[in-house]
């Protein structure tokens, strides 16, 4: 049976969260959305010091690099060289730009950039299932039992959409989910927390499943076929608007409104040179494309940079399945853990993340762009240890949500910081445990979203968006 991590921490956390939700709902019943949006200029929550800090609202955009599958914390960011061989594995820690911070030898580029990173080594939650655990990290909140796409908590990007962030015609919330042959639908289609949740379909992301590493990469909705002139496009828009009016006379619901908004944005993008250009990776030099890595992940990260550069507030880059037979998919290394980390996973992640840091800094965007690097959980302390139904081979590690590592960088983040600590086997937090809701509370703070923010769910009940504790120690 899967283990239940840190029971005392989770019991106290759940009770505290319940009190916050109750108090927050009562205090905010009289506030409407415009008032709350305006409040971001003056409200910073119960911690007035945090509210007044330079980090509040520093980030104009956010890139979430999501390592689907769950990277092994003790083989990447939190090595334990003094642990027994069955725990530490064969990888060695190396010194970094910051004295006292050591990370894996297979992250050499990131090792020279730790002065820009806040490394949180005490992340923890209690779910070993990929599709459910993803919800924790994308929303900060545990999912409701038996929930579905529009009963889930809204993704961070969906909240920014609801608050009116971004500028037309580009969508405010984009998800890069490049599909390759041999993909595993369970990850892509079933992972929860990716969409608008109870904020409704109008807050869903533009989801790009095309592989940006291919020569024929295109975002289908935003490419005007050669045989269609702008005049014909305008005619089609007029026809669509006429049909839409007729439909609305018979029904008016959130789904229709969302469809109409997405169609309208698509037409605007087809007309807009700015919109079309955002998806044209051929506009980048071959050298720049190679710097990010000529693979689905590297090119997705480059696409994310082009989008935030043009005003998109939130881009999620999901790690793709390589589509290699007999190889663990994503970062889900139940077998071949050390082979795949060394040869397939860490080099591409090291290259793309380090290049993104450099590229944003060169363009003057790092101080206004927040970067998150995380998976949904970590891996078992012992090689071959079984902690879920998926199990682990003799050279693999199973799912482990009890302790893992997440990284923050960019706008509002104090670089060269290490927060929290794991125990001697990287199994449980030894200091300053951080729940996903606390990580997201910190992210919302950097994005200028006040901690009291409450939005109405699908049943017109006020919900505190993120009742976590801001990690002030990683903020500027």
**pLDDT tens across 251-279, in order?**
555 555 555 555 566 556 655 655 668 99
**DSSP state, residue 451:** T
Q: Report the pLDDT value the prediction gives residue 273, as an integer from 0 to 100.
A: 55
Burial class (CB in 10 A: 0-12, 13-18, 19+), 273: exposed
What pLDDT was estimated at residue 218? Answer: 87
d(CA 407, CA 418): 9
Q: How far apart are CA 430 and CA 145, in angstroms?
A: 30
Full residue range of the structural domain in which residue 114 is found? 7-162+171-207+318-474
Is residue 310 a part of any domain in this protein?
A: no
Can you give the pLDDT at residue 377? Answer: 98
Q: Find tokens 């083989």 and name the residue.
A: 75
Q: Does residue 28 form part of some domain?
A: yes
Token pair recorded at residue 456: 């109405």
The answer to whether residues 338 and 75 touch, using CB atoms and an 8 Å cutoff, is: yes
Residue 258 domain-assigned?
Answer: no
Within a domain: 280:
no
Q: How many CA atoms lie within 13 A of 428 on its CB side?
A: 10
Q: What is the DSSP letter of 43?
A: -
DSSP state letters, 383-412: TT---STT---TT---EE-SSEEEEEEETT
How far is the CA of 373 from the CAs of 3, 117, 185, 324, 404, in angstroms?
25, 10, 23, 24, 12
CB-count exposure of residue 423 (10 Å: 0-12, 13-18, 19+): middle
**Bridge partners for 431 per DSSP:** 421
233 is a domain residue: no
User: In angstroms, how far is CA 473 from the centroid of its own chain?
Assistant: 21
Nearest CA-CA partner of 355 in 133, 183, 170, 113:
113
Q: What is the pLDDT of residue 232?
A: 52
Is 358 a member of any domain?
yes
- CB of 199 closer than 8 Å to CB of 230: no
How far is the C-alpha of 22 from the C-alpha of 157, rounded, in Å? 25
Q: How many domains does the chain have?
A: 1
Q: What is the pLDDT of residue 166?
A: 93
Written as six digits, the tokens of 348 are: 């591409």
Token pair of 458 as six digits: 């699908």
Write out the E strands in 239-313: none
Check residue 469 and give its pLDDT: 96
pLDDT value of position 143 = 86
pLDDT score of 181: 78
Percentages helix, strand, coil for the chain (3-state, rounded to 5) are 40, 15, 45
Nearest to 40 by CA among 124, 147, 163: 163
Write out the two tokens for 362: 């060169």
Residue 152 lies in a domain: yes
Q: Are strands 93-95 and 102-104 parallel, antiparallel or unpaired?
A: antiparallel
Task: Give the integer Cα–Cα distance in Å for 174 and 161.
Answer: 10
- Mean pLDDT, contiguous 10-residue spans, the chain (476 residues): 43 44 34 40 42 82 97 98 98 98 98 98 97 96 83 97 92 93 75 95 93 90 48 53 54 56 59 72 97 97 97 96 68 95 97 98 98 98 97 97 98 98 98 98 97 93 96 96
| pLDDT given for residue 267 in this prediction | 54
User: For residue 470, what is the domain's CATH number?
Assistant: 3.40.720
Contact 92, 352 (CB under 8 A): no
- The token pair at 332 is 């889900």
């Amino acid at each position: 049976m899967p283990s239940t991590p840190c029971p005392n921490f989770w019991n106290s956390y759940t009770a505290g969260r319940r009190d916050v939700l109750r108090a927050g709902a009562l205090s905010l019943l009289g506030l409407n959305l415009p008032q709350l949006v305006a409040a971001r200029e003056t409200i910073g929550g119960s911690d007035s010091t945090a509210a007044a800090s330079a980090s509040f609202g520093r980030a104009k955009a956010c890139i979430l690099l999501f390592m689907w599958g769950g990277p092994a914390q003790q083989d990447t960011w939190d090595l334990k060289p003094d642990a027994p061989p069955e725990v530490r594995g064969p990888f060695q820690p190396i010194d970094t730009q910051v004295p006292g911070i050591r990370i894996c030898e297979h992250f050499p580029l990131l090792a020279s950039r730790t002065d820009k990173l806040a490394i949180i080594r005490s992340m923890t939650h209690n779910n070993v299932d990929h599709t459910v655990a993803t919800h924790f990290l994308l929303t900060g909140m545990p999912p409701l039992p038996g929930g579905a796409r529009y009963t889930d908590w809204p993704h961070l990007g969906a909240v920014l959409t609801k608050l009116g962030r971004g500028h037309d015609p580009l969508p405010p919330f984009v998800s890069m989910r490049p599909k390759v042959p041999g993909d595993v639908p369970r990850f892509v289609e079933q992972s929860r927390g990716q969409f608008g949740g109870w904020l409704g379909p109008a807050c869903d992301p533009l989801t790009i499943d095309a592989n940006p590493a291919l020569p024929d990469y295109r975002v289908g909705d935003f490419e005007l076929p050669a045989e269609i002139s702008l005049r014909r496009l305008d005619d089609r828009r007029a026809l669509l608007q006429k049909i839409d009016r007729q439909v609305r006379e018979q029904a008016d619901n959130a789904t229709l409104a969302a469809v109409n908004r997405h169609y309208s944005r698509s037409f605007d993008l087809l007309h807009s040179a700015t919109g079309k250009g955002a998806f044209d990776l051929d506009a980048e030099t071959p050298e720049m494309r190679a710097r990010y890595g000529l693979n689905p992940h590297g090119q997705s990260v480059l696409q994310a940079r082009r989008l935030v550069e043009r005003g998109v507030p939130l881009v999620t880059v999901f790690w793709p399945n390589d589509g290699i037979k007999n190889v663990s998919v994503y970062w889900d290394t139940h077998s071949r853990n050390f082979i795949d980390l060394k040869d397939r996973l860490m080099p591409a992640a090291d290259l793309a993340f380090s290049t993104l840091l450099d590229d944003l800094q060169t363009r003057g965007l790092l101080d206004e762009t927040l970067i998150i690097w995380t998976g949904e959980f970590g891996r078992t302390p012992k090689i071959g240890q079984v902690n879920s139904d998926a199990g682990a081979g003799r050279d693999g590690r199973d799912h482990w949500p009890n302790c893992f590592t997440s990284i923050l960088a960019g706008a509002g983040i104090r670089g060269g910081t290490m927060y929290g600590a794991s125990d001697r086997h990287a199994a449980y937090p030894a200091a300053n445990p951080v729940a996903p809701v606390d990580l997201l509370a910190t992210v919302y703070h950097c994005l200028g979203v006040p901690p009291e923010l409450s939005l109405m769910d699908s049943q017109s009940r006020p919900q505190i968006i993120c009742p976590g504790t801001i990690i002030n120690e990683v903020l500027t």
